[in-house]
Each structure stands twice: as structure tokens, then as C-alpha cells.
């Protein structure tokens, strides 16, 4: 969905990266299990991991969301947010997405961007 949005802005599509996806999935799971609070806690660790695993990656951005939302609703919300939209429109090459559902039936979304 983010690549569909990027296409409307004439931006190159993001390439999925397994190492980034792993970090996004792990972050969503950590938030969903309340191991960490909702937000960007631990971002410096994720950045370091991505920089070690993705050759040439120096800049990393992250969008998060939670609730009983569809992926379409999450992306729509990010488009309406200046900071989230900046990541979506950023000069990034790679991405990874992680989504988890917790015991309270809440969904946690993380999308990480890197270049």
C-alpha cells in the first residue's frame, strides 16, 4: 500500500528487506505483548541492527500504529500525518513491515524504512 502511495508521488518503489522486516515484526510483537510501550522505544537498537545487516544503510525511519484497524486505515492515517508521510515519501530504498495481534485483539503495525 505504501508503494501504491509512493507511485502517485512518482517515487521509486521500496524493496522489501528480510532484516528490516525482522526488526519491524519484532518491534510490533514487543509492543503487542507490552514488553515495551507503544512508540519508538529501542529505535537506536533497530537502527544499529539494520546498519549491520543492510549494506550501505545509513538513514532509518519508522512508522508505528495500533488499534482495530485495517492496513488501509493505517496507511491512510499515516498519509494524514506530516511526520509519518515524510517517511513514506522519503528517499528510502528498503522497507520491512511487521504486524501482530495481541491477546486483547489489538493490532500493532511497524513499518521501517532505510537507505
Instruction: Measure the CA–CA gap between 99 and 74, rounded to whole angstroms.
Output: 11
Query: Angle between the 43-53 and 18-32 helix axes, to the nearest 10 degrees?
Result: 160
DSSP for residue 108: E
pLDDT of res. 38: 98
pLDDT of res. 5: 98
Instruction: Measure the CA–CA gap between 55 and 46, rounded to whole angstroms.
Output: 15
Sign for the pseudo-dihedral over CA of 67, 71, 77, 78:
positive
pLDDT of res. 44: 98
Tell me the pLDDT tens digit for each residue of 38-93.
Answer: 999 999 999 999 999 999 999 999 999 999 999 999 999 999 999 999 999 999 99
Fold of 1-114: Pathogenesis-related Protein p14a (3.40.33)
Contact (CB, 8 A) for 94 and 20? yes
Mean pLDDT in residue range 20-29: 99
Mean pLDDT in residue range 16-38: 98
Percent of the chain exceeding pLDDT 70 equals 100
Instruction: Measure the CA–CA gap between 44 and 25, rounded to whole angstroms.
Output: 16
The contacts of residue 24 (CB under 8 Å, 6+ apart) are 96, 97, 98, 110, 111, 112
Instruction: Measure the CA–CA gap between 8 and 54, rounded to whole angstroms.
Output: 27
pLDDT of res. 79: 98
Amino acid at each position: 500500500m505504501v508503494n501504491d502511495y509512493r507511485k502517485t508521488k512518482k517515487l521509486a518503489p521500496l524493496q522489501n528487506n528480510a532484516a528490516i522486516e525482522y526488526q519491524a515484526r519484532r518491534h510490533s510483537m514487543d509492543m503487542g505483548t507490552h514488553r515495551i510501550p507503544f512508540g519508538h522505544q529501542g529505535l537506536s537498537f533497530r537502527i544499529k541492527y539494520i546498519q549491520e545487516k543492510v549494506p550501505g544503510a545509513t538513514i532509518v525511519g519508522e512508522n508505528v500504529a495500533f488499534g482495530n484497524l485495517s492496513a488501509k486505515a493505517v496507511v491512510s492515517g499515516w498519509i494524514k500525518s506530516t511526520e509519518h508521510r515524510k517517511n513514506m515519501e522519503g528517499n528510502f530504498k528498503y522497507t520491512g513491515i511487521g504486524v501482530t495481534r495481541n491477546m486483547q485483539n489489538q493490532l500493532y503495525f511497524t513499518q521501517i524504512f532505510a537507505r
